[in-house]
Structure 1
Amino acid sequence: MIEWSKADQVFLDMDGTLLDLHFDNHFWLEHLPRRYGEANRLTPDQARNLIVPMIMAERGSLNWYCTDYWSERLSLDITALKAEVGDRIAYRPRVKEFLQALRHNRLAPVILTNCHPDPLKLKLARTGLDQLVDRVISSHDLGAAKEEQAFWDRLQDHHTHHRDRAIMVDDSMPVLESARRAGIGQCLAILAPDSQQPDREPHPEFPAVRHFDEVLPALTAQASAKPQA
Protein backbone atom coordinates (compact mmCIF):
# COMPACT_ATOMS: atom_id res chain seq x y z
CA MET A 1 0.00 0.00 0.00
CA ILE A 2 2.38 2.68 1.26
CA GLU A 3 6.13 2.02 1.28
CA TRP A 4 7.06 3.79 4.49
CA SER A 5 10.70 2.76 4.15
CA LYS A 6 11.00 4.92 1.02
CA ALA A 7 9.98 8.09 2.87
CA ASP A 8 11.62 10.45 5.32
CA GLN A 9 8.80 13.01 5.54
CA VAL A 10 5.09 12.53 6.20
CA PHE A 11 2.79 15.46 5.48
CA LEU A 12 -0.57 15.23 7.22
CA ASP A 13 -3.82 17.02 6.66
CA MET A 14 -5.56 17.99 9.91
CA ASP A 15 -9.36 18.17 9.53
CA GLY A 16 -10.72 14.83 8.38
CA THR A 17 -7.33 13.14 8.73
CA LEU A 18 -6.12 13.73 12.27
CA LEU A 19 -9.23 15.44 13.64
CA ASP A 20 -12.84 14.40 13.15
CA LEU A 21 -14.39 16.36 10.30
CA HIS A 22 -17.72 16.21 12.15
CA PHE A 23 -16.82 19.46 13.93
CA ASP A 24 -16.41 21.42 10.70
CA ASN A 25 -19.37 19.83 8.94
CA HIS A 26 -21.61 20.49 11.94
CA PHE A 27 -20.44 24.08 12.14
CA TRP A 28 -20.94 25.00 8.48
CA LEU A 29 -24.11 23.03 7.86
CA GLU A 30 -25.91 23.31 11.21
CA HIS A 31 -24.53 25.80 13.72
CA LEU A 32 -23.67 28.66 11.36
CA PRO A 33 -27.03 28.59 9.52
CA ARG A 34 -28.84 28.61 12.86
CA ARG A 35 -26.86 31.57 14.20
CA TYR A 36 -27.03 33.43 10.87
CA GLY A 37 -30.78 32.84 10.79
CA GLU A 38 -31.13 34.26 14.30
CA ALA A 39 -29.22 37.37 13.26
CA ASN A 40 -31.21 37.88 10.07
CA ARG A 41 -34.70 36.64 10.98
CA LEU A 42 -34.46 33.52 8.82
CA THR A 43 -35.20 29.90 9.59
CA PRO A 44 -32.15 27.59 9.70
CA ASP A 45 -33.24 26.05 6.39
CA GLN A 46 -33.57 29.45 4.75
CA ALA A 47 -30.17 30.47 6.07
CA ARG A 48 -28.60 27.19 4.93
CA ASN A 49 -30.04 27.58 1.44
CA LEU A 50 -28.45 31.01 1.28
CA ILE A 51 -25.08 30.21 2.84
CA VAL A 52 -24.20 26.84 1.31
CA PRO A 53 -24.22 28.03 -2.34
CA MET A 54 -22.04 30.99 -1.31
CA ILE A 55 -19.55 28.62 0.28
CA MET A 56 -19.56 26.15 -2.60
CA ALA A 57 -18.80 28.95 -5.06
CA GLU A 58 -15.43 29.40 -3.32
CA ARG A 59 -14.57 25.70 -3.17
CA GLY A 60 -10.88 24.93 -3.63
CA SER A 61 -9.77 28.55 -3.15
CA LEU A 62 -8.19 30.10 -0.07
CA ASN A 63 -11.44 32.03 0.54
CA TRP A 64 -13.23 28.69 1.08
CA TYR A 65 -11.15 28.21 4.24
CA CYS A 66 -10.72 31.86 5.30
CA THR A 67 -12.40 32.82 8.56
CA ASP A 68 -11.78 36.51 7.93
CA TYR A 69 -13.43 36.30 4.51
CA TRP A 70 -16.59 34.64 5.84
CA SER A 71 -16.76 36.89 8.88
CA GLU A 72 -16.87 39.91 6.57
CA ARG A 73 -19.15 38.26 4.01
CA LEU A 74 -21.73 37.15 6.58
CA SER A 75 -21.23 39.96 9.13
CA LEU A 76 -20.60 37.42 11.89
CA ASP A 77 -17.59 36.55 14.05
CA ILE A 78 -16.88 33.09 12.63
CA THR A 79 -14.07 32.29 15.07
CA ALA A 80 -16.29 33.13 18.05
CA LEU A 81 -19.11 31.02 16.63
CA LYS A 82 -16.73 28.09 16.15
CA ALA A 83 -15.71 28.37 19.79
CA GLU A 84 -19.39 27.94 20.77
CA VAL A 85 -19.26 24.34 19.50
CA GLY A 86 -15.61 23.72 20.33
CA ASP A 87 -16.53 20.73 22.48
CA ARG A 88 -17.07 18.81 19.21
CA ILE A 89 -13.39 19.08 18.26
CA ALA A 90 -11.96 15.56 18.60
CA TYR A 91 -9.27 13.22 17.35
CA ARG A 92 -10.01 10.54 14.79
CA PRO A 93 -9.33 6.95 15.96
CA ARG A 94 -5.74 5.88 16.71
CA VAL A 95 -4.20 9.20 15.68
CA LYS A 96 -1.86 9.48 18.66
CA GLU A 97 -0.57 5.94 18.17
CA PHE A 98 -0.04 6.65 14.47
CA LEU A 99 1.95 9.82 15.15
CA GLN A 100 4.04 7.97 17.73
CA ALA A 101 4.71 5.18 15.21
CA LEU A 102 5.90 7.74 12.66
CA ARG A 103 8.38 9.12 15.16
CA HIS A 104 9.58 5.60 16.03
CA ASN A 105 10.33 5.19 12.33
CA ARG A 106 12.14 8.54 12.18
CA LEU A 107 9.49 9.85 9.80
CA ALA A 108 9.03 13.55 10.51
CA PRO A 109 5.28 14.33 10.83
CA VAL A 110 4.32 17.81 9.61
CA ILE A 111 0.75 19.09 9.42
CA LEU A 112 -0.22 20.89 6.22
CA THR A 113 -3.64 22.40 6.74
CA ASN A 114 -5.97 24.77 4.92
CA CYS A 115 -7.38 25.79 8.30
CA HIS A 116 -7.26 29.54 8.97
CA PRO A 117 -4.87 30.53 11.81
CA ASP A 118 -7.70 31.65 14.12
CA PRO A 119 -9.70 28.38 14.25
CA LEU A 120 -6.36 26.56 14.06
CA LYS A 121 -5.44 28.08 17.43
CA LEU A 122 -8.77 26.90 18.84
CA LYS A 123 -8.23 23.35 17.61
CA LEU A 124 -4.64 23.14 18.83
CA ALA A 125 -5.62 24.52 22.24
CA ARG A 126 -8.36 21.89 22.51
CA THR A 127 -6.25 18.94 21.38
CA GLY A 128 -2.56 19.68 21.94
CA LEU A 129 -2.00 18.27 18.46
CA ASP A 130 0.90 20.63 17.78
CA GLN A 131 2.85 18.89 20.57
CA LEU A 132 2.72 15.60 18.68
CA VAL A 133 4.18 16.77 15.34
CA ASP A 134 7.28 18.60 14.17
CA ARG A 135 5.49 21.55 12.59
CA VAL A 136 2.05 22.92 11.71
CA ILE A 137 1.89 24.91 8.47
CA SER A 138 -1.25 26.74 7.37
CA SER A 139 -1.87 27.40 3.69
CA HIS A 140 -2.87 30.94 4.69
CA ASP A 141 0.76 31.60 5.58
CA LEU A 142 1.73 30.54 2.03
CA GLY A 143 -1.05 32.47 0.30
CA ALA A 144 -2.42 29.47 -1.59
CA ALA A 145 -4.64 26.50 -0.78
CA LYS A 146 -3.25 22.96 -0.95
CA GLU A 147 -5.37 22.38 -4.05
CA GLU A 148 -3.17 24.89 -5.91
CA GLN A 149 0.29 24.15 -7.29
CA ALA A 150 1.52 27.46 -5.87
CA PHE A 151 1.13 25.97 -2.39
CA TRP A 152 3.63 23.19 -3.11
CA ASP A 153 6.07 25.56 -4.80
CA ARG A 154 6.04 27.91 -1.80
CA LEU A 155 6.16 25.09 0.74
CA GLN A 156 9.80 24.36 -0.11
CA ASP A 157 10.72 27.89 1.07
CA HIS A 158 8.99 27.25 4.42
CA HIS A 159 9.98 23.65 5.00
CA THR A 160 12.86 22.00 3.18
CA HIS A 161 12.05 18.49 1.97
CA HIS A 162 12.57 16.03 -0.87
CA ARG A 163 9.23 15.72 -2.66
CA ASP A 164 9.94 12.25 -3.99
CA ARG A 165 10.60 10.97 -0.45
CA ALA A 166 7.48 12.55 1.05
CA ILE A 167 4.08 11.05 1.79
CA MET A 168 0.87 13.11 1.83
CA VAL A 169 -2.09 11.85 3.88
CA ASP A 170 -5.39 13.65 3.28
CA ASP A 171 -9.14 13.05 3.03
CA SER A 172 -9.44 15.46 0.08
CA MET A 173 -8.96 13.89 -3.34
CA PRO A 174 -8.34 17.28 -5.03
CA VAL A 175 -5.53 17.90 -2.52
CA LEU A 176 -4.00 14.47 -3.15
CA GLU A 177 -4.22 15.02 -6.89
CA SER A 178 -2.49 18.38 -6.44
CA ALA A 179 0.22 16.80 -4.29
CA ARG A 180 0.85 14.11 -6.87
CA ARG A 181 1.12 16.68 -9.67
CA ALA A 182 3.64 18.56 -7.54
CA GLY A 183 5.82 15.46 -7.31
CA ILE A 184 5.01 14.19 -3.83
CA GLY A 185 6.21 10.58 -3.87
CA GLN A 186 3.26 8.80 -2.25
CA CYS A 187 -0.31 9.72 -1.33
CA LEU A 188 -2.70 8.06 1.11
CA ALA A 189 -6.44 8.81 1.22
CA ILE A 190 -8.68 8.77 4.30
CA LEU A 191 -12.14 7.32 3.65
CA ALA A 192 -13.84 8.01 6.99
CA PRO A 193 -13.12 11.67 7.77
CA ASP A 194 -16.44 12.37 9.54
CA SER A 195 -17.44 9.98 12.31
CA GLN A 196 -21.11 10.81 11.76
CA GLN A 197 -21.15 10.22 8.00
CA PRO A 198 -20.84 7.09 5.80
CA ASP A 199 -17.42 6.15 4.45
CA ARG A 200 -16.40 7.59 1.12
CA GLU A 201 -15.77 5.48 -1.95
CA PRO A 202 -12.10 4.69 -2.63
CA HIS A 203 -10.31 6.65 -5.32
CA PRO A 204 -9.07 4.34 -8.08
CA GLU A 205 -5.63 5.96 -8.17
CA PHE A 206 -4.77 6.30 -4.47
CA PRO A 207 -4.29 3.72 -1.72
CA ALA A 208 -6.78 4.38 1.07
CA VAL A 209 -7.64 3.49 4.67
CA ARG A 210 -10.60 4.16 6.93
CA HIS A 211 -8.54 4.54 10.09
CA PHE A 212 -4.88 4.41 11.06
CA ASP A 213 -5.16 1.00 12.71
CA GLU A 214 -4.86 -0.34 9.16
CA VAL A 215 -1.28 0.95 8.81
CA LEU A 216 -0.04 0.64 12.40
CA PRO A 217 1.08 -3.02 12.06
CA ALA A 218 3.34 -2.18 9.11
CA LEU A 219 4.82 0.85 10.88
CA THR A 220 5.35 -1.10 14.11
CA ALA A 221 7.05 -3.97 12.29
CA GLN A 222 9.28 -1.59 10.38
CA ALA A 223 10.31 0.24 13.56
CA SER A 224 11.16 -3.06 15.23
CA ALA A 225 13.35 -4.08 12.29
CA LYS A 226 15.39 -0.87 12.30
CA PRO A 227 18.71 -0.78 14.18
CA GLN A 228 18.65 1.45 17.24
CA ALA A 229 20.30 4.83 16.76
Structure 2
Amino acid sequence: MIDWQKIDTVLLDMDGTLLDLHFDNYFWLTHLPLRYAEIKGVSEAEATALLMHHIRQHEGTLQWYCLDHWSALLELDIPLLKRELLHKIQLRPYVEDFLRALRGQRKKVMLITNAHPKGLELKLSVTAIDQWLDLVVSSHEYFHPKESEAFWQKLQAEENFDPKTTLFIDDTPRVLASAENFGIAHLVHICAPDSQREPARSHRYIDINHFDEIMPH
Protein backbone atom coordinates (compact mmCIF):
# COMPACT_ATOMS: atom_id res chain seq x y z
CA MET A 1 0.00 0.00 0.00
CA ILE A 2 2.83 2.39 0.88
CA ASP A 3 6.41 2.21 -0.38
CA TRP A 4 8.17 3.47 2.73
CA GLN A 5 11.43 3.87 0.78
CA LYS A 6 9.78 6.81 -1.01
CA ILE A 7 8.67 8.59 2.20
CA ASP A 8 10.89 11.11 4.00
CA THR A 9 8.27 13.14 5.89
CA VAL A 10 5.13 11.94 7.68
CA LEU A 11 2.41 14.46 8.54
CA LEU A 12 -0.15 13.26 11.06
CA ASP A 13 -3.50 14.67 12.10
CA MET A 14 -4.38 14.33 15.78
CA ASP A 15 -8.12 14.00 16.51
CA GLY A 16 -9.53 10.94 14.76
CA THR A 17 -6.09 9.90 13.51
CA LEU A 18 -3.79 9.51 16.52
CA LEU A 19 -6.54 10.02 19.11
CA ASP A 20 -10.01 8.51 19.32
CA LEU A 21 -12.49 11.04 17.94
CA HIS A 22 -15.06 9.74 20.44
CA PHE A 23 -13.78 12.31 22.96
CA ASP A 24 -14.54 15.24 20.65
CA ASN A 25 -17.83 13.89 19.31
CA TYR A 26 -19.05 13.11 22.81
CA PHE A 27 -17.95 16.51 24.13
CA TRP A 28 -19.58 18.63 21.39
CA LEU A 29 -22.70 16.56 20.76
CA THR A 30 -23.53 15.25 24.26
CA HIS A 31 -21.56 16.78 27.13
CA LEU A 32 -21.55 20.43 26.07
CA PRO A 33 -25.32 20.64 25.31
CA LEU A 34 -26.00 19.02 28.68
CA ARG A 35 -23.69 21.36 30.60
CA TYR A 36 -24.90 24.43 28.66
CA ALA A 37 -28.50 23.55 29.52
CA GLU A 38 -27.60 23.12 33.22
CA ILE A 39 -25.58 26.36 33.45
CA LYS A 40 -27.91 28.57 31.37
CA GLY A 41 -31.18 27.12 32.65
CA VAL A 42 -32.54 26.08 29.25
CA SER A 43 -33.75 22.72 27.98
CA GLU A 44 -31.26 20.26 26.53
CA ALA A 45 -33.15 20.41 23.21
CA GLU A 46 -32.72 24.21 23.09
CA ALA A 47 -29.04 23.91 23.94
CA THR A 48 -28.50 21.26 21.24
CA ALA A 49 -30.34 23.31 18.61
CA LEU A 50 -28.26 26.40 19.42
CA LEU A 51 -24.98 24.50 19.26
CA MET A 52 -25.86 22.69 16.03
CA HIS A 53 -26.75 26.02 14.41
CA HIS A 54 -23.35 27.52 15.28
CA ILE A 55 -21.44 24.34 14.39
CA ARG A 56 -23.02 24.21 10.91
CA GLN A 57 -22.44 27.94 10.40
CA HIS A 58 -18.67 27.74 10.98
CA GLU A 59 -17.77 24.19 9.89
CA GLY A 60 -14.33 23.92 8.29
CA THR A 61 -13.24 27.44 9.30
CA LEU A 62 -10.59 28.36 11.84
CA GLN A 63 -13.33 29.73 14.12
CA TRP A 64 -14.97 26.30 14.16
CA TYR A 65 -11.81 24.89 15.75
CA CYS A 66 -11.15 27.86 18.08
CA LEU A 67 -11.93 27.21 21.75
CA ASP A 68 -11.64 30.94 22.56
CA HIS A 69 -14.33 31.62 19.92
CA TRP A 70 -16.66 29.05 21.48
CA SER A 71 -15.96 30.26 25.02
CA ALA A 72 -16.87 33.84 24.03
CA LEU A 73 -19.89 32.82 21.95
CA LEU A 74 -21.42 30.54 24.60
CA GLU A 75 -20.11 32.49 27.62
CA LEU A 76 -18.61 29.27 29.03
CA ASP A 77 -15.08 28.11 29.81
CA ILE A 78 -14.79 25.45 27.10
CA PRO A 79 -11.28 24.20 28.06
CA LEU A 80 -12.45 23.80 31.67
CA LEU A 81 -15.51 21.80 30.54
CA LYS A 82 -13.27 19.59 28.40
CA ARG A 83 -11.26 18.72 31.52
CA GLU A 84 -14.39 17.05 32.91
CA LEU A 85 -13.89 14.30 30.31
CA LEU A 86 -10.14 13.63 30.57
CA HIS A 87 -10.81 9.89 30.92
CA LYS A 88 -12.18 9.85 27.34
CA ILE A 89 -8.93 11.13 25.76
CA GLN A 90 -7.50 7.91 24.33
CA LEU A 91 -4.92 6.85 21.75
CA ARG A 92 -6.31 4.94 18.78
CA PRO A 93 -5.12 1.32 18.30
CA TYR A 94 -1.48 0.75 17.25
CA VAL A 95 -0.62 4.47 17.46
CA GLU A 96 2.38 4.06 19.75
CA ASP A 97 3.70 1.11 17.72
CA PHE A 98 3.34 3.15 14.53
CA LEU A 99 5.10 6.22 15.95
CA ARG A 100 7.89 4.07 17.34
CA ALA A 101 8.32 2.38 13.93
CA LEU A 102 8.52 5.79 12.19
CA ARG A 103 11.19 6.86 14.65
CA GLY A 104 13.09 3.64 13.94
CA GLN A 105 12.97 4.41 10.20
CA ARG A 106 14.30 7.95 10.85
CA LYS A 107 11.37 9.65 9.15
CA LYS A 108 10.62 13.27 9.98
CA VAL A 109 7.29 13.09 11.84
CA MET A 110 5.11 16.17 12.30
CA LEU A 111 1.74 16.51 13.99
CA ILE A 112 -0.39 19.03 12.11
CA THR A 113 -3.75 19.71 13.67
CA ASN A 114 -6.64 22.15 13.47
CA ALA A 115 -7.02 21.74 17.24
CA HIS A 116 -6.83 24.98 19.19
CA PRO A 117 -3.58 25.33 21.23
CA LYS A 118 -5.51 25.02 24.52
CA GLY A 119 -7.12 21.74 23.42
CA LEU A 120 -3.84 20.54 21.95
CA GLU A 121 -1.99 21.21 25.21
CA LEU A 122 -4.65 19.30 27.15
CA LYS A 123 -4.40 16.23 24.90
CA LEU A 124 -0.60 16.20 24.84
CA SER A 125 -0.54 16.39 28.65
CA VAL A 126 -2.75 13.27 28.81
CA THR A 127 -1.22 11.19 25.99
CA ALA A 128 2.44 12.37 25.83
CA ILE A 129 2.49 11.56 22.08
CA ASP A 130 4.77 14.54 21.44
CA GLN A 131 7.69 12.39 22.72
CA TRP A 132 7.56 10.61 19.32
CA LEU A 133 7.23 13.75 17.20
CA ASP A 134 9.76 16.11 15.64
CA LEU A 135 7.30 19.00 15.51
CA VAL A 136 3.78 19.90 16.60
CA VAL A 137 1.88 22.54 14.59
CA SER A 138 -1.56 23.96 15.34
CA SER A 139 -3.12 25.62 12.28
CA HIS A 140 -4.05 28.52 14.59
CA GLU A 141 -0.35 29.50 14.52
CA TYR A 142 -0.70 30.08 10.77
CA PHE A 143 -4.15 31.76 10.95
CA HIS A 144 -5.51 29.26 8.38
CA PRO A 145 -7.06 25.79 8.83
CA LYS A 146 -5.70 22.76 6.98
CA GLU A 147 -8.63 23.14 4.56
CA SER A 148 -6.88 26.24 3.17
CA GLU A 149 -4.00 26.21 0.68
CA ALA A 150 -2.44 29.05 2.68
CA PHE A 151 -1.86 26.58 5.53
CA TRP A 152 0.17 24.25 3.30
CA GLN A 153 2.16 27.09 1.77
CA LYS A 154 3.09 28.35 5.23
CA LEU A 155 3.97 24.86 6.48
CA GLN A 156 6.24 24.19 3.51
CA ALA A 157 7.88 27.61 3.85
CA GLU A 158 8.60 26.88 7.51
CA GLU A 159 9.62 23.21 7.25
CA ASN A 160 10.90 22.86 3.66
CA PHE A 161 9.44 19.37 3.04
CA ASP A 162 9.12 17.82 -0.42
CA PRO A 163 5.42 17.09 -1.21
CA LYS A 164 6.49 14.19 -3.48
CA THR A 165 8.15 12.32 -0.59
CA THR A 166 5.56 13.27 2.03
CA LEU A 167 2.83 11.07 3.50
CA PHE A 168 -0.18 12.74 5.14
CA ILE A 169 -2.69 10.82 7.27
CA ASP A 170 -6.03 12.37 8.27
CA ASP A 171 -9.63 11.30 8.94
CA THR A 172 -11.30 14.19 7.06
CA PRO A 173 -11.61 13.88 3.25
CA ARG A 174 -11.92 17.64 2.71
CA VAL A 175 -8.58 18.15 4.48
CA LEU A 176 -6.96 15.37 2.44
CA ALA A 177 -8.33 17.04 -0.71
CA SER A 178 -6.65 20.30 0.31
CA ALA A 179 -3.34 18.47 0.77
CA GLU A 180 -3.84 16.70 -2.58
CA ASN A 181 -4.44 20.03 -4.33
CA PHE A 182 -1.22 21.32 -2.80
CA GLY A 183 0.65 18.37 -4.31
CA ILE A 184 1.23 15.99 -1.40
CA ALA A 185 1.72 12.66 -3.15
CA HIS A 186 0.90 10.05 -0.49
CA LEU A 187 -2.47 10.33 1.26
CA VAL A 188 -4.08 7.98 3.77
CA HIS A 189 -7.62 8.27 5.13
CA ILE A 190 -8.61 6.92 8.55
CA CYS A 191 -12.01 5.23 8.16
CA ALA A 192 -12.65 4.56 11.85
CA PRO A 193 -11.77 7.79 13.68
CA ASP A 194 -14.45 7.31 16.38
CA SER A 195 -14.31 3.94 18.15
CA GLN A 196 -18.04 4.17 18.87
CA ARG A 197 -19.13 4.68 15.24
CA GLU A 198 -19.12 2.60 12.07
CA PRO A 199 -16.15 3.10 9.70
CA ALA A 200 -16.70 5.20 6.55
CA ARG A 201 -14.42 4.90 3.51
CA SER A 202 -13.28 7.84 1.38
CA HIS A 203 -13.13 5.76 -1.84
CA ARG A 204 -10.46 8.22 -3.07
CA TYR A 205 -7.43 7.82 -0.83
CA ILE A 206 -5.76 4.81 0.79
CA ASP A 207 -8.45 3.79 3.28
CA ILE A 208 -7.38 2.12 6.54
CA ASN A 209 -9.09 1.46 9.86
CA HIS A 210 -5.90 1.18 11.95
CA PHE A 211 -2.16 1.75 11.62
CA ASP A 212 -1.29 -1.95 11.70
CA GLU A 213 -2.39 -1.99 8.04
CA ILE A 214 0.48 0.31 6.98
CA MET A 215 3.14 -0.39 9.62
CA PRO A 216 6.67 0.38 8.32
CA HIS A 217 9.07 -2.61 8.45
Matched position secondary structure for 2:71: helix
Matched position secondary structure for 2:168: strand
CA deviations on 1:47-71 (whole Å, 9 max, x unpaired) are 1111112112111110010000010
Residue 206 of structure 2 aligns with which residue? 207
Matched position secondary structure for 1:85: helix
Residue identity over aligned pairs, in percent, reads 45
Matched position secondary structure for 2:106: coil
Please report how far the alpha carbon of residue 158 of structure 1 lies from its aligned counterpart in structure 2 after TM superposition: 2.5
Please report how far the alpha carbon of residue 126 of structure 1 lies from its aligned counterpart in structure 2 after TM superposition: 0.4
Matched position secondary structure for 1:57: helix
Partners of 1:19 and 1:3 lie apart in 2 by 25
Partners of 1:32 and 1:194 lie apart in 2 by 18
Partners of 1:124 and 1:84 lie apart in 2 by 16
| 1:13 equivalenced with 2:13 (yes/no) | yes
Please report how far the alpha carbon of residue 92 of structure 1 lies from its aligned counterpart in structure 2 after TM superposition: 0.1
TM-score, length of structure 1 as denominator length: 0.92
Code of the residue aligned with 2:57 in structure 1: it is A
**1:1-229 residue pairs with structure 2 within 5 A?**
1-200=1-200, 202-216=201-215, 219-220=216-217
Q: How many residues align?
A: 217
Give yes or no for contact 1:17–1:171 (8 Å, CA) kept in 2. Answer: yes
Please report how far the alpha carbon of residue 147 of structure 1 lies from its aligned counterpart in structure 2 after TM superposition: 0.6
Matched position secondary structure for 1:146: coil
CA deviations on 1:117-155 (whole Å, 9 max, x unpaired) are 001111000010111111110000011000111100111
Code of the residue aligned with 2:190 in structure 1: it is I
Give yes or no for contact 1:2–1:188 (8 Å, CA) kept in 2. Answer: no
TM-score, length of structure 2 as denominator length: 0.97
Partners of 1:43 and 1:159 lie apart in 2 by 48
**Structure 2, unpaired ranges of 5+:** none
